[in-house]
Every structure is written in C-alpha cells, then in structure tokens.
C-alpha cells in the first residue's frame, strides 16, 4: 500500500506539472533524485552552487521508489540526475530507458564508468568482514561463502535482507556460483546468526564490541565513521574490530558503487554533467575520502589514511551488476530461507 500511495502521489505531481514543465531551455537549477543521505553530499552540493550559481533541488528516497517515479513521470519528469548506492540499480534504470549517455570529463578509473557512459561512479565502498580482534583468529577467515560453515554458528552479525547492500552481495554470489549454492550460503548465514538482523552496519560493529557476536559483514566506510566519531564509545567500537577482505584468492571482494546517471528527459542536462564532473574532481574526491571514508573513484586520489591502513584489495568482477534480474532472485532466496 505504501508503494501504491507513493506512485499515486507521483502521478498527481506529474498531472499538476502540466505545460509549465516544458523543457525548452536550461535553467540555473539542477534536480537530483538520490538515495544518498550523507552530510558530505550536502556540503559539496552547497559548494557546487557557490561555484556555479546553479541551485540544487534534491529529492531523497529508495532506489526502487525513485525509479518507479521516473517511469510514471516520463517526459514530464523534472529530474536531471539519478544517484544510487548500487550499480545494479543504475543499470536497471538504464534498461528501463530512464537514463541517457553523457560525455563527462572525469578522471574516473574505467571500471567506474558505465560502458556506454550511462552512469559515472562517485564513490565506492568495500563490503568486508569485520571481526572481533580479541576472539577471532584471522587465519580462520577466507571467503564470504565460508561464513556459512558451522564453525561460525551463533557468531555472525548482519543487517536485514531488505538492505540493498546484502541484495547486491547475494546477487554477486549467485553470479559467481549458481542459485542453489547461493541459497545454501544464505541458509548457512541464517543458521549462524548471533541474533535476528536489526539496525545498520554500524550497529553490527557495536554488537561485536558488546560481545553479541564475533563476525559481521559490513561496508568499510561505516568503520571509518566510527573510528573518526566525536563519540568515544563509537571510537572504541571501531577499534574493537579488524577488517578482512574476503575472496582475495578468488574473484575478489565485493564493492558497492555510488553513481550518477543523467535522466533521459533531463531539462538541465548540461548542469547535470557539470555536477558529475564536480563530484568526481580531485578536490571533491579528497573531501569524500576524508569525510565519508568512502573509496575515491578518481584515479588521482588516494583513500583516507583511516581506510588505507587496511591495505589494498582485489575487487570482484562487476559483471553481476549488469544482470539486474539477479536482484529479484536474491530477494526470492532471502524469502525462501527466512532471512528477515
């Protein structure tokens, strides 16, 4: 009912727009549909406005809701950019004909530019194994798949199956193995959980610090945020865990890409391209690295020392992100194994 309500609201917005939303010329505005909710983004958006005079109007929601909204709005959509924290969602928007290719001048590593330039990466984060440095022998860690082994019974902490991060991870496991093996892995994780999934990644790390469990699957930037928090309890929680990059002898560790794609009917396409170039510039990438503790996509910029200390790692093959039907399979598997 909530989704239906949101769709009806979007329809009303389109109807009310009427002929006043005709895209005849560029304005000094930029309309962004985004799933990101970070302070670093707000600060950089304000700086972009200061430097260019272009006002940024932001709509925040989940990726699926924003994609549905773009479908409903069609040619009347005011959106110029779609930003998500998952490349698979951006590829889904591309497949639905909601994005257009754009020539942006960036220093992005090639892996962070969609093959036909339908989207550009802004940052990325590694999905790693955080472990209790006091209770876990790091030599016992190896792969995501190994966490389904019974030796980890009652020790695993992880957020809910509704998390796009977990859906993306399971999609990559389906791609790298097959559906049955992926389902067996999900069943094993459910059996080995120290508690029912709840909270975000920071909550899993805090649960390790409180001796609720010993191992968690989390995104790196959350650990960086804890270690640099003004709250001493959060700092101590961050110090409690070690970081392990899984699957380094095989396909590599999983990552999530935050990226931006210019919408098909963008009324301010040139402004959207300027924003992509601004967010991927050396200066903005350094700001992201030192404030949100994400990995930079700009090949000229190094990670913040907090996360660089964990070392370099092999990244998994991102081809799974092009197979957007895998996300639906991942959701089905979660339901089948009772991963709440």
d(CA 292, CA 295): 9
User: Which tokens go with 2?
Assistant: 């909530």
d(CA 272, CA 155): 45
| pLDDT computed for residue 12 by the predictor | 44
SS3 186: helix
| pLDDT computed for residue 25 by the predictor | 53
Sign of the four-CA dihedral 271, 274, 276, 278: negative
Q: What is the reported pTM?
A: 0.90
d(CA 152, CA 219): 20
User: Which tokens go with 133?
Assistant: 């440095």
Tell how strand 295-296 and strand 55-60 pair up: unpaired
| pLDDT computed for residue 247 by the predictor | 97
| pLDDT computed for residue 26 by the predictor | 64
SS3 30: strand
Residue-range domains of the chain with CATH: 2-11+25-124+256-308 (3.40.190.10), 125-254+315-337 (3.40.190.10)
Helices in 86-131 by DSSP H: which ranges?
87-95
Q: How many helices (H) and strands (E) does the chain have?
A: 13, 9
Residue 23: pLDDT above 60? no
Tell me the pLDDT tens digit for each residue of 192-203: 999 999 999 999
């Amino acid at each position: 009912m909530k989704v239906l309500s949101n769709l009806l609201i979007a329809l009303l917005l389109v109807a009310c727009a009427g002929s006043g939303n005709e895209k005849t010329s560029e304005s000094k505005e930029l309309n962004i549909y985004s799933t990101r909710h970070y302070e670093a983004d707000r600060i950089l958006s304000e700086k972009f406005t200061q430097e260019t005079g272009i006002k940024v109007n932001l709509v925040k929601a989940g990726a699926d809701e924003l994609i549905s909204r773009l479908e409903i709005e069609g040619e009347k959509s005011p959106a110029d950019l779609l930003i998500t924290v998952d490349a698979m969602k951006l590829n889904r928007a591309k497949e639905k004909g909601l994005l257009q290719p754009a020539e942006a001048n960036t220093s992005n590593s090639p892996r962070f530019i969609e093959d036909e330039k339908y989207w550009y990466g802004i940052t990325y984060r590694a999905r790693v194994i955080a472990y209790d440095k006091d209770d876990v022998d790091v030599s016992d860690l190896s792969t995501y798949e190994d966490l389904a082994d019974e030796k980890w019974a009652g020790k695993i902490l992880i957020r809910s199956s509704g998390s796009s991060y977990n859906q993306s991870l399971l999609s990559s496991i389906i791609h790298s193995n097959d559906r049955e093996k992926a389902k067996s892995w999900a069943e094993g994780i459910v059996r080995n959980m120290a508690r029912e999934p709840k909270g975000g990644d920071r909550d899993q790390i805090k649960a390790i610090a409180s001796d609720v469990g010993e191992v968690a699957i989390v995104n790196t930037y959350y650990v960086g945020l804890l270690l640099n928090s003004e709250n001493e309890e959060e700092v101590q929680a961050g110090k409690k865990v070690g970081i392990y990059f899984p699957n380094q002898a095989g396909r590599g560790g999983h990552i999530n890409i935050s990226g931006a794609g210019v919408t098909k009917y963008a009324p301010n396409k040139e402004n959207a391209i300027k924003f992509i170039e601004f967010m991927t510039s050396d200066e903005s990438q350094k700001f992201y690295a030192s404030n949100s503790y994400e990995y930079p996509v700009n090949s000229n910029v190094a990670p913040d020392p907090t996360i660089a200390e964990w070392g370099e790692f092999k990244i998994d093959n991102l081809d799974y992100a092009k197979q957007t039907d895998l996300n639906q399979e991942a959701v089905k598997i979660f339901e089948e194994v009772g991963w709440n």
